[in-house]
């Protein structure tokens, strides 16, 4: 417990340090001009990014539902959407304190006791999301060789993608090993049986390639909605940034913010926007990129607000 608190404190410090350093780098005079972006904004476009991000959440609920069905667990769409909204709310408004996946697991297991199956579906759901980002990022790399910041991380992205391919191959081909058999014999807290049950739940996905392909396609569509949402944020601020830059940058920025070194990606997200978008052929200045990152984050937060409302109205009770 102490170690977890210490790690969380370190992540808070890293986030605060990155934000403060960025603010110092931008300069006091430029920061005083930040409210001016709202004065010149196109408010008729305000709803579009929020709707795009909300659509991504709804599609995420559909994808998770498909993965749950393989475990013999069925939830109607509306309860799944409620769970997904609540998990997004906690992830975005209490980052680092309450994980969205933990919230999903907690409430889903209150309605269905197949804990191992639910955990396996959540794990695979998360892996699908990261895999979609990796695939988009790898395909985007050839179109961004003129961007120095992306060139620096291209090797890292490619290594992650190769590791993912290896992981997929092992998942579909690896048999039970002697090491696992020894682990299954652990009797403390019935840990061995729990691990075996979880492993068997994961193995169920091996013979469901069509559903996995469907879920992965959904993951790609979800990431496209995230890109479109950010593009609409730029239109809201009247920035003249071509859509292709968002297709290249946003998946890579999302990957960077997933790194567990900050709280909810705060700090890493803002720096990534500034680094990448200021290199886009000189189309964007640092303050524009910073305003875009803030607008993107606020739109994501607003799209998560229904989760908080659902939580308060339902009192934490989700029907199947």
Whether 100 is in a domain gets the answer yes
Tell whether the model's pLDDT for residue 129 goes beyond 80. yes
The span from the CA of 237 to the CA of 273, in Å, is 15
Whether 87 is in a domain gets the answer yes
What is the mean predicted confidence (pLDDT) over 286-292?
Answer: 89
More confident residue, 218 or 97: 218
Whether 12 is in a domain gets the answer no
Whether 227 is in a domain gets the answer yes
The span from the CA of 51 to the CA of 58, in Å, is 10
What per-residue confidence (pLDDT) applies to 220?
92
Q: What domain range includes position 61?
A: 48-157+207-314
What per-residue confidence (pLDDT) applies to 178?
66
Q: What is the DSSP letter of 155?
A: H
Q: Which of 276, 288, 278 shows the shortest CA–CA distance to 37? A: 288
Whether 299 is in a domain gets the answer yes
Tell whether the model's pLDDT for residue 152 goes beyond 80. no
Number of domains in the chain: 1
Tell whether the model's pLDDT for residue 52 goes beyond 90. yes
What per-residue confidence (pLDDT) applies to 151?
66
What per-residue confidence (pLDDT) applies to 53?
92
Whether 33 is in a domain gets the answer no
Whether 165 is in a domain gets the answer no
């Amino acid at each position: 417990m102490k170690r977890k608190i210490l790690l969380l404190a370190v992540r808070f410090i890293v986030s605060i340090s990155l934000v403060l350093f960025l603010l110092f780098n931008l300069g006091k005079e430029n920061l005083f001009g930040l409210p001016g972006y709202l004065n010149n904004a196109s408010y008729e476009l305000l709803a579009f990014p929020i709707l795009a991000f909300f659509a991504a959440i709804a599609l995420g609920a559909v994808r998770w539902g498909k993965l749950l069905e393989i475990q013999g667990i069925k939830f109607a769409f509306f309860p799944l959407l409620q769970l997904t909204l609540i998990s997004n709310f906690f992830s975005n408004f209490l980052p680092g304190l309450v994980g969205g996946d933990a919230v999903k697991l907690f409430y889903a297991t209150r309605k269905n006791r197949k804990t191992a199956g639910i955990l396996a579906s959540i794990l695979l759901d998360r892996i699908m999301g990261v895999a979609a980002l990796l695939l988009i990022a790898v395909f985007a790399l050839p179109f961004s060789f003129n961007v120095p910041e992306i060139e620096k991380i291209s090797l890292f992205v490619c290594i992650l993608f190769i590791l993912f391919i290896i992981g997929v191959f092992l998942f579909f081909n690896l048999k039970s090993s002697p090491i696992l058999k020894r682990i299954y014999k652990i009797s403390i807290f019935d840990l061995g049986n729990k691990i075996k049950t979880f492993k068997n739940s994961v193995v169920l996905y091996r013979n469901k390639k069509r559903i996995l392909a469907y879920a992965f396609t959904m993951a790609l569509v979800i990431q496209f909605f995230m890109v479109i949402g950010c593009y609409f944020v730029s239109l809201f601020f009247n920035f003249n940034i071509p859509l292709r830059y968002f297709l290249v940058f946003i998946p890579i920025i999302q990957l960077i913010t997933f790194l567990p070194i900050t709280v909810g990606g705060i700090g890493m997200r803002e720096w990534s926007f500034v680094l990448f978008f200021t290199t886009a052929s000189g189309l964007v200045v640092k303050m524009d990129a910073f305003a875009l990152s803030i607008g993107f984050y606020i739109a994501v937060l607003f799209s998560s607000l229904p989760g908080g409302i659902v939580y308060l109205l339902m009192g934490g009770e989700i029907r199947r």
